[in-house]
Structure 1
Amino acid sequence: MKKKVAFYTLGCKLNFSETSTIARQVEGEGFLRVPFHEEADLYVINTCSVTENADKRFKTIVRQAQKANPKAFVAAIGCYAQLKPEQLAAVDGVDLVLGATEKFKLTDYLNDLSKNDFGEVHSCEISEADFYVGSYAIGDRTRAFLKVQDGCDYKCTYCTIPLARGISRSDTLENVLRNAREISEEGIKEIVLTGVNIGDYGKGEFGNKRHEHTFLDLVRALDDVPGINRLRISSIEPNLLKDETISFVAGSKTFVPHFHIPLQSGSDKILRAMKRRYKRELYTNRVDQIKSLMPHACIGVDVIVGFPGETDDDFLETYHYLNELDIAYLHVFTFSERDNTPAATMNNVVPLKVRQKRSKMLRALSIKKRRAFYETQLGSVRTVLFEGENKAGYIHGFTENYVKVRVPWNPSLVNTLHKVRLTEIDEEGMVRLEFVKAAVIP
């Protein structure tokens, strides 16, 4: 009988793409992949360093694995495994911890799945993470996450990602296109480009800072890959989202009018303290440029509240800026101190209750902004890609410009594209629709 393996992924789209690639490697060694809640011989947890209470979350997931099979071998990989390997290894039930360079060699450590008294650690100095491993997620969901870049050369004062993933480096254009074609051949309708800092695409391995290609070269080449219905840019720094790229997306065959652009603060004073590489004026220009060419575009924003030194006036400056900005939703992060980052030792710490209050205010603003954006889309004809889950009797989907819709569950709609007219917003804040006749898209 085949040994069984189960995976659990914490964090970002990049982690999902890497989990999927590692899972294919493990399956290639004869393992049968099963859902995480089922009994398995091996449980692999791909960790994240960004989420708050990462340690607590990790322990909960390990307990889930032990409950399913107390004798199973448990491996921790990923960003938190690189930053805090000894801490994870000390968690009861953990047998193996693999850091940034070792996670793609997981299969080398699976010859003996006997439980260990203590977690075995294999990690590296992050400077050794100077090579690139391509990956993509497929078979897990309707859309595929295609990794094109890894690591980051930016020194934002709050961020651990450079410590967890190393320097900025990219996949070759040839390999990205090959992966995109493989995804297309599997019948996946949408590809989401992912990485740590994808606008920096083009830097080679081993610290080679010369760009072989630019991000614009990448999107132009991907737009010509046959069989892909949709391409979506996951998240891109405002200073790296060039006007030429925005213009190309506006006239693209496959790139959708949806941008996710980190802001972090609407105060130039706080942006300087964070060591962000732009001022608010540049951010405004990017939003204006997108909306001038694609009035129906959806723009999402990352924002951090409670950064050290953020006064009430600084926060209100951010709040009012976002309230006036023509964006569709916010991803709100409450600042939390991360070891070995400059922000962790800064003065003028914002009390936790104040951080939480500010976070609550921006989350409420996000709900308001999303509804306002949805209202502008009512009556329009859009294309919906339906997803694969039955959620309380409904099937969900997204338009090209990221409006979330739902209709009563119908399995024949899974992974299909349809022209629809958006009609009204329902009690769950999603949009109802009517199908436009004879408009199924192959």
Structure 2
Amino acid sequence: MNRVYIKTYGCQMNERDSEQVASSLRDRGYSIVDNEHDADVVLLNTCSVRDQAEQKAIGKAGYLKKRKVENPNFLLGVMGCMAQNRGSELIDRLPDLDLVVGTQKFHRVPDHLDNLIQSMNGQGPRPSSIVDLAEEAGSQNTIRDHIGKQGQVSAYVSIMQGCNMNCAFCIVPKTRGRERARPIEEIVDEVTGLAESGVKEVTLLGQIVTSYGRRDFPVVGGKSPFVQLLEKINDIRGIERIRFTSPHPRGFKQDLVEAYRDLPKLCEYVHLPLQAGCNKTLRAMNRPYTKERYLEIVESLRKVVPHMYFSTDIIVGFPGETEEDFDESAKFFEEIGYDMAYVFKYSIRTGTPAEVMPDQIPTEEKERRNQVLLDILHKSSLKRNESLLGTTQQVLVEGPAKKGDKFTGKTRGFRTAIFDADERLIGQLVDLKVDRATVSSLYGDIELAGVER
């Protein structure tokens, strides 16, 4: 009864939370398996950003409950954002669920599984199900352990939890709670340990990562707590690259812009959520900036790093978005020239202001607008990649590619590279001479003097 399979839906935050649960379970004596069919316990770590994500998880749970007919001791749990959002309603819809755990209770999963298994073994009364959704002070500090896979090159590091924004479309403040930051020293210790284990690249995570510590820690020398943290991580021996996600445009004050100029390990790649390129739509979304301010941020970053890479989040079909509004947004999207983007069709989230807004957009129109932006993105991404033909790009070798006998890695600009290499180079920084480019990938030969590929 100790084999656990964890399936993760959604963002990097969810991936990091799942890794923490896996690490905690291993410390308790559980075995983490890679196949749900080999597991005695299946845990679904869920997402609530869009309805489709919730429906996928609910469908998966409905499918898995059939195993209880064959094996009454099989345990099924739902964790994370959907658990927090829907709560006990999930038990009403899926009465065979054994465990529902919210976003501030991941560290309690081993205790809950222990109790369920002991009760099945006759060591106590068996609860019909366990639902644990309460807030818990200090829960942000429990996401700190890593599985430590052999040859791990990069790692996610959670630096805060929660969100204090009130975007009209977003359920995250409900599912993740208010902003709560981890101490700088604890994060530095975690990253130092990762570096000592061979990790070369870290990605700092937070719902609004640039808001890190703004209510908890002082500004020092004109630098925000987030920039202070970046500086300390930049000084850690063994760490070669730093990334972060997801920020908010209002977090890009001059100190953060200058960090891209001054910190050599901070990669010249910015994920800068736009959501809409029309001021009318931005106001309806309750986003506290204009497209003009957003463009100022982009230009300030390109001033310190002319070849800066940009990705974004953008929503099409927000309630009340007219065709003229969308055309304005699409024009701005094209003007920025993103290298990558997550284009979302607006999805109603129960309990958000946008749910009851008039002039909801038909599905067919959202599909059309979605495709318009994808076509623009295709052109801008291909243009950027083709501009790299003949150049030499630094690549961090991650491991074998999914297909063929090639290897893969990322450039500092977060472009995927495919090339011939050897396992000895995993975790190494190499120079790649780019000789072919597609929309999504760069291809070429590594230039490594004295070492056979």
Specify if TM > 0.5: yes
Which moves more between the two structures, 302-311 or 141-150?
Answer: 141-150
1:40 corresponds to which letter in structure 2? A
1:15 match: 14
Contact 2:159 2:182 in 1 (8 A): yes
1:197 corresponds to which letter in structure 2? I
Q: SS at 2:448's partner residue?
A: strand
1:87 corresponds to which letter in structure 2? E
Higher helix share: 2
2:140 corresponds to which letter in structure 1? Y
- The 3 A distance-change label for structure 1 pair 30 and 302 is same
Residues 187-213 of structure 1: CA deviation (Å, up to 9, x unaligned): 111100111111111146xxx697796
After TM superposition, give the deviation of residue 46 of structure 1 in Å. Answer: 1.1
Give matches, 1:72-83, under 5 Å. Answer: 72-83=74-85
2:407 match: 395
Give matches, 1:17-416, under 5 Å. Answer: 17-62=16-61, 65=64, 71=71, 72-89=74-91, 90-91=93-94, 93-111=96-114, 112-113=116-117, 119-124=129-134, 131-136=139-144, 139=148, 142-203=153-214, 214-393=225-404, 394-408=406-420, 410-416=422-428
After TM superposition, give the deviation of residue 218 of structure 1 in Å. Answer: 1.2
Which moves more between the two structures, 106-115 or 24-33?
Answer: 106-115
Contact 2:155 2:199 in 1 (8 A): yes
Contact 2:282 2:290 in 1 (8 A): yes
CA distance, structure 1, for counterparts of residue 62 and residue 421 of structure 2: 33
1:421 match: 433
Which moves more between the two structures, 274-283 or 430-439?
Answer: 430-439
Residues 324-381 of structure 1: CA deviation (Å, up to 9, x unaligned): 2143122101101101100000011111111111111112222211111112222222
- The 3 A distance-change label for structure 1 pair 389 and 139 is farther
Contact 1:36 1:43 in 2 (8 A): no
2:3 corresponds to which letter in structure 1? K
After TM superposition, give the deviation of residue 20 of structure 1 in Å. Answer: 1.0
CA distance, structure 2, for counterparts of residue 135 and residue 211 of structure 1: 25
CA distance, structure 1, for counterparts of residue 156 and residue 66 of structure 2: 30
Residues 113-161 of structure 1: CA deviation (Å, up to 9, x unaligned): 367895432222x6x6675224255546631000011101111111110
- The 3 A distance-change label for structure 1 pair 209 and 269 is farther
Contact 2:205 2:245 in 1 (8 A): yes
Contact 2:210 2:247 in 1 (8 A): yes
Q: SS at 2:310's partner residue?
A: strand
CA distance, structure 2, for counterparts of residue 63 and residue 414 of structure 1: 40
After TM superposition, give the deviation of residue 408 of structure 1 in Å. Answer: 4.7
CA distance, structure 2, for counterparts of residue 305 and residue 367 of structure 1: 17
After TM superposition, give the deviation of residue 91 of structure 1 in Å. Answer: 2.1
CA distance, structure 1, for counterparts of residue 349 and residue 217 of structure 2: 28
1:419 corresponds to which letter in structure 2? D
1:132 corresponds to which letter in structure 2? Q
CA distance, structure 2, for counterparts of residue 265 and residue 299 of structure 1: 15
Q: SS at 1:56's partner residue?
A: helix
- The 3 A distance-change label for structure 1 pair 253 and 264 is same
CA distance, structure 2, for counterparts of residue 17 and residue 300 of structure 1: 21
CA distance, structure 1, for counterparts of residue 398 and residue 217 of structure 2: 39
- The 3 A distance-change label for structure 1 pair 209 and 228 is closer
Aligned residues: CA RMSD = 2.5
1:395 corresponds to which letter in structure 2? F
Q: SS at 1:181's partner residue?
A: helix
Residues 194-243 of structure 1: CA deviation (Å, up to 9, x unaligned): 11111111146xxx697796211111111111110111122211110122
CA distance, structure 1, for counterparts of residue 347 and residue 57 of structure 2: 17
CA distance, structure 2, for counterparts of residue 65 and residue 414 of structure 1: 37
Please report the TM-score for the alignment, with normalisation by the length of structure 1: 0.91
- The 3 A distance-change label for structure 1 pair 289 and 24 is same
**Counterpart check, 1:3 vs 2:2:** yes
Which moves more between the two structures, 323-332 or 188-197?
Answer: 323-332
After TM superposition, give the deviation of residue 425 of structure 1 in Å. Answer: 1.1
- Unaligned segments of structure 1, at least 5 residues: none
- The 3 A distance-change label for structure 1 pair 309 and 60 is same
